[in-house]
Amino acid sequence: MKKAAWFAIGFAAYLGAMWFYLFHGADTALPVHLKGSAADPAMFMNERQLSLSYDFSRIKDFIYFVSVPLEWLIYLLVLGFGLSRRFRETAQGLTRFSVVHSALYVLFLSAASWILTFPLRYYSYTVSKSYKVSVQHFDGWMKDSLVDFWIGYAFTVVMVGAIYWLMKKSEKKWWLYAWLLSIPFTIFMYFIQPVLIDPLYNEFSPLKDQALKEKILLLADKADIPADNVYEVNMSEKTNSLNAYVNGIGSNLRIVLWDTTLNKLSDSQVLFVMAHEMGHYVMNHLYWNLISSIVLSFLGLYFGNMLYRRWIKKYGDAWGIKGISDIAALPALLLIFSLLGFAVSPVENAISRSAERDADQYAIEMTKNPEAAVGAFQELTVSGLSEVNPPKLVKFFLYGHPTMLERISFLDAQRTSKDK
């Protein structure tokens, strides 16, 4: 109980420090040389939009910095208060079939985590709704949340079942065998996501605007992208934000536009956005993402195994865990993977930002329309109430894209050089 109290005090102190940093301590002033430029939000947002953008962005950033350690805290409490051991014992008491034990245990742990994090997720939803970034009704949001839960549960059951089976077979090399099994699984997920998983959340249909479709397919042909269709997805019933993407591999490659993007951007702006997404394909970013996922999973499993073994050796008795292959140790393993993922996220984000800059450059070279590019990002900023120049810590941990300040100023420089 004393340790729990200290955890609670430390968590409260952390929240206070993050709140102060985000709302009072961070320097987000616009560089003097960019004032009055196309990247200056005062040039394309009114006073109310500027105020809403600041408040919305900071609240959402704060929610993120609350949610990450909250997940860690939940895992520690489940272990420290003996709940994990009780979940295991309950699962074993419900059936004599050992193959079902891990599935039941994962259900108990997932349900507990989902319930404990629900208030924060609901608050995040209400914030987006109150700032009119989200327009989704509660029942639709709840449906998506439940779909998330059951999809996550299904994949977790498969992965956890495989990992703990491997642990029982080989306590020393389970992590290596798990990594080898993860490679075809990761490739399979990249292949099936556009056609099996994405449609569970949204309705996809061929792009209705035939003239725009032809323009996009001409761009794709110019970029040597093997696409014969363009899809639009009905997102206007959920959000006012804009987005477009190219995902999938092989025959399941899909070019997708949110209908909000189609409704709010001109054709020339849409073409720039699509050229940017095609740039990711042309420069093999999709495949590099796949390779990096495989490499990072190797490193995560290797270092995760070392930490996991030490933790179980040191704290296993106190947590009521019988050994590394005990399913009751799962919260410790998930905590370790979450910590490692958080630690490596700044590096992943930096690499991602570089790829996004390259895609912007590619799109400019393909469309030769920096005016449309600048306008597209300005509209993206307004629609999503994005902060043009976020705090450095936010950019460090959250931004896989360059900030809007960086993107618009880069594109505006391209426009200026073209005019000369």
Query: Maximum distance among all alpha carbons in the chain?
Result: 78
Give the active site residues: 277, 360
Q: Is 33 annotated in some ligand binding site?
A: no
* Alpha helices in 265-329, H assignment, sequence order: 267-282, 285-319
CA geometry: angle 210, 212, 216, nearest 5 deg: 115
Query: What's the rounded Cα separation, in Å, for the pair 398 and 381?
Result: 16
How confident is the prediction along the chain (420 residues), in pLDDT tens digits per residue?
666 677 788 889 999 999 999 999 998 889 999 999 999 999 999 999 999 999 999 999 999 999 999 999 999 999 999 999 999 999 999 888 877 889 999 999 999 999 999 999 999 999 999 999 999 999 999 999 999 999 999 999 999 999 999 999 998 999 999 999 999 988 887 777 777 788 888 888 888 999 999 999 899 888 888 777 888 999 999 999 998 887 776 667 778 899 999 999 999 999 999 999 889 988 988 888 889 999 999 999 999 999 999 999 999 999 999 899 999 999 999 999 999 999 999 999 999 999 999 999 999 999 999 999 999 999 999 999 999 999 999 999 999 999 999 999 999 888 666 655
Query: What's the rounded Cα separation, in Å, for the pair 22 and 61?
Result: 8
Q: Is 276 annotated in some ligand binding site?
A: yes
Query: What's the rounded Cα separation, in Å, for the pair 365 and 350?
Result: 23
Other C-beta atoms closer than 10 Å to the C-beta of 290 total 17
Residue 303 phi, psi dihedral angles, 5° rounding: -75, -35
- Tokens for 205, please give them: 């249909």
Q: 3-state DSSP: the chain helix, strand, coil percent, rounded to 5?
A: 75, 5, 20
Give me the domains of the chain, ranges plus CATH numbers.
2-201+285-419 (no CATH), 204-282 (3.30.2010.10)
